């Protein structure tokens, strides 16, 4: 197999790391299957494409994409906590609304960006794939370090307690609802960051790029949790690292399947089946342990 | 300290029917009052605790804490001086967080939770010192997740967490009823020790009549949302289980 093929899967896996980490936050820390993801991922791409077309530096475009994603998450969080709409439904509402907003922002369904200067060639190398890989490692590495610091800070502990034990959180003077809003904001900022990186990598933003993307995040989290490496069970640092590794392995699985000649039109069916397979395997393993 | 003035709370079932949990309840507790609350199931004991803690907002009446009207103040904004022990020992701690992280949150109960790493060496030593009084050896395992501990250990830690800083009130809703006899004894004695030592205003809900004899300075009985009987001072001291049992006899 051509090494460039796997290098490309590796870059994609790293770029989708933010998506995995975002889903980890909403799904594992808050127990919310947050569908806003599909919309905020596209939003991240759209903001990046518009920004770069307007001549912003690539990194600035990515930062703005994160801010836009955070805003989308905050909307979902507010609808869920203030209007007391079911978390799943609030996500669906915001995701649906974002489709129109993304179209409105771009003015058309597809916007190309020149990617000769992008966050994925911040670091120079002999060929563009290696440069993209190194840049992605640095970017995701920085996100990991920042997220790790955040989750271990006093605020982060309060955030984790909120999803884990609301009764304890309230007894500790934590405003549970505000924490949920903040958590969904951060989660969707991470998702939008992935959207921004992928847009810069593939050179365009597309209105449909986010459809079903939430499954990729779920897959990353679940593959990460299934990895039989004891180090990855140790503390929050291990878990975050596992999610990024899970994201990479998940992309490898998809790339391998495509290389076996599966019609790209069946890509999403295959993705869904892979995730279903991982869940089922996890169930079987748990049963054996019990 | 704690004052309830004609507090009422009625629950409406989703299939019709209404339950009067609190019916014009008034009570005045001074700092250091140590009360045992008894009564048949559904008499309003837990509702009384929840109204004080803020997890239930009364339909009418006033709740006054430390001379402040807190009737409408949400739970998380009055938790700073309140320690709570739930019947379910799992409710008082966050299972996925380590012992140390749980204590960190308890220490920040009345403070803002900022973007700084608050768990340093000094804090670790402070928590280790506090936990060592349990003699469970947990002071050397501070990074263990709470989920790895037994119900009794978690309940004991919840108690220490709730009372680690400024705390003037402790509300306990059958804190030992889900525990094995040895853990129950340990948790009840630890609670008793801390309440006496810190002169806390305490409300203990229990179904164990022996608890009424061993702990507290006043016994309060509720029925159908009202306080119907109480005994304090010498009357409380001279109580025996037969007398208490007769309180529960059908009238």
Report the pLDDT value the prediction gives residue A186, as an integer from 0 to 100.
97
- For the packed helices A235-259 and A213-226, what is the interaxial angle rounded to 10 degrees? 120
Report the pLDDT value the prediction gives residue B233, as an integer from 0 to 100.
86
Q: Could you tell me the residue ranges of all domains in chain B?
A: 2-110+120-247
Q: pLDDT under 70 in chain B at which residues? A: 250-251
* Residue numbers of A between 101 and 160 with CB closer than 8 Å to B: 149-150, 152-155, 157-158, 160
Q: pLDDT under 70 in chain A at which residues? A: 1-2, 289-290
CATH code, A80: 1.10.3470
Which of A150, A157, A167 faces B91 most closely, judged by CB atoms?
A: A167
Structurally, chain A folds into a number of domains equal to 1
Report the pLDDT value the prediction gives residue A185, as an integer from 0 to 100.
97
Name the one residue in this structure whose structure tokens are 């197999």: A1
Report the pLDDT value the prediction gives residue A290, as an integer from 0 to 100.
57
C-beta separation of B7 from B60 below 8 A:
yes
Q: Do A172 and B109 lie within an 8 Å CB cutoff?
A: yes
Report the pLDDT value the prediction gives residue B232, as an integer from 0 to 100.
87
Report the pLDDT value the prediction gives residue A269, as an integer from 0 to 100.
87
C-beta separation of B31 from B198 below 8 A:
no
Q: What is the distance in angstroms between the Cα of B249 and the nearest Cα belonging to chain A?
A: 36
Q: Do B113 and A149 lie within an 8 Å CB cutoff?
A: no
Q: Do A158 and B117 lie within an 8 Å CB cutoff?
A: no
Cβ neighbours of B251 (radius 10 Å): 6
The residue in chain B having the minimum alpha-carbon distance to the alpha carbon of residue A236 is B97
Q: Does the ipTM exceed 0.95?
A: no
Neighbour-count burial of A252, counting CB atoms closer than 10 A to its CB (0-12 exposed, 13-18 middle, 19+ buried)? middle
Report the pLDDT value the prediction gives residue A261, as an integer from 0 to 100.
85
C-beta separation of A242 from A225 below 8 A:
yes
C-beta separation of B245 from B209 below 8 A:
yes
Report the pLDDT value the prediction gives residue B71, as an integer from 0 to 100.
92
Q: Could you name the CATH architecture of B2-110+120-247?
A: 3-Layer(aba) Sandwich (3.40)
Q: Which domain holds residue A269?
A: 3-289
Cβ neighbours of B200 (radius 10 Å): 23
Report the pLDDT value the prediction gives residue A1, as an integer from 0 to 100.
55
């Amino acid at each position: 197999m051509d090494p460039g093929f796997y290098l490309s899967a590796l870059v994609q896996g790293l770029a989708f790391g933010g998506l995995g980490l975002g889903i980890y936050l909403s799904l594992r820390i808050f127990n919310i299957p947050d569908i806003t993801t599909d919309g905020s991922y596209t939003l991240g791409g759209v903001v990046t494409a518009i920004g770069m077309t307007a001549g912003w530096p690539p990194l600035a475009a990515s930062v703005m994409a994160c801010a836009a994603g955070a805003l989308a998450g905050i909307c979902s969080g507010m609808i869920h906590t203030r209007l007391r709409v079911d978390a799943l439904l609030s996500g669906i509402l915001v995701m649906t609304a974002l489709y129109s907003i993304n179209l409105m922002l771009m003015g058309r369904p597809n916007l190309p960006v020149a990617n000769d200067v992008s966050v994925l060639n911040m670091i120079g190398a002999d060929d563009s794939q290696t440069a993209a890989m190194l840049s992605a490692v640095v970017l995701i590495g920085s996100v990991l370090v920042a997220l790790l610091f955040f989750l271990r800070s006093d605020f982060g502990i309060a955030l984790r307690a909120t999803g884990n034990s609301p009764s304890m959180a309230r007894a500790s003077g934590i405003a549970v609802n505000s924490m949920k809003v903040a958590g969904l904001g951060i989660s969707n900022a991470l998702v939008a960051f992935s959207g921004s990186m992928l847009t810069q990598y593939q050179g365009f933003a597309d209105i449909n790029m986010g459809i079903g993307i939430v499954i990729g995040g779920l897959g990353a989290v679940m593959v990460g949790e299934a990895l039989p490496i004891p180090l990855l069970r140790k503390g929050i640092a291990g878990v975050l690292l596992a999610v990024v590794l899970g994201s990479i392995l998940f992309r490898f699985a998809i790339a391998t399947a495509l290389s076996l000649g599966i019609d790209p039109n069946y890509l999403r069916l295959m993705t869904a089946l892979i995730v279903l397979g991982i869940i089922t395997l996890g169930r079987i393993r748990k049963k054996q342990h019990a | 300290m704690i004052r309830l003035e004609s507090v009422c709370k009625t629950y409406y079932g989703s299939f019709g029917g209404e339950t009067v949990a609190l019916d014009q309840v008034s009570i005045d507790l001074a700092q250091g009052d140590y009360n045992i609350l008894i009564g048949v199931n559904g008499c309003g004991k837990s509702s009384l605790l929840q109204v004080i803690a803020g997890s239930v907002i009364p339909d009418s009446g006033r709740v006054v804490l430390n001379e402040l009207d807190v009737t409408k103040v949400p739970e998380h904004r009055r938790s700073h001086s309140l320690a709570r022990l739930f019947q379910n020992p799992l409710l008082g701690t966050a299972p996925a967080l380590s012992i140390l992280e749980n204590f960190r949150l308890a220490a920040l109960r009345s403070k803002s939770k900022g973007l700084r790493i608050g768990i340093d060496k000094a804090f670790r030593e402070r928590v280790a010192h506090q936990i060592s009084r349990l003699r469970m050896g947990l002071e050397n395992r501070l990074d263990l997740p709470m989920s790895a501990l037994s119900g009794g250990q978690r309940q004991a830690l919840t108690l220490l967490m709730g009372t680690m800083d400024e705390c003037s009130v402790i509300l306990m809703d059958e804190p030992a009823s889900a525990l094995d006899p040895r853990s129950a004894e340990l948790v009840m004695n630890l609670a008793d020790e801390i309440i006496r030592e810190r002169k806390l205003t305490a409300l203990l809900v229990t179904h164990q009549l022996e608890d009424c004899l061993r702990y507290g300075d006043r016994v309060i009985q509720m029925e159908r949302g009202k306080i119907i009987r109480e005994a304090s001072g010498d009357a409380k001291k001279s109580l025996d289980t037969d007398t208490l049992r007769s309180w529960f006899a059908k009238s």
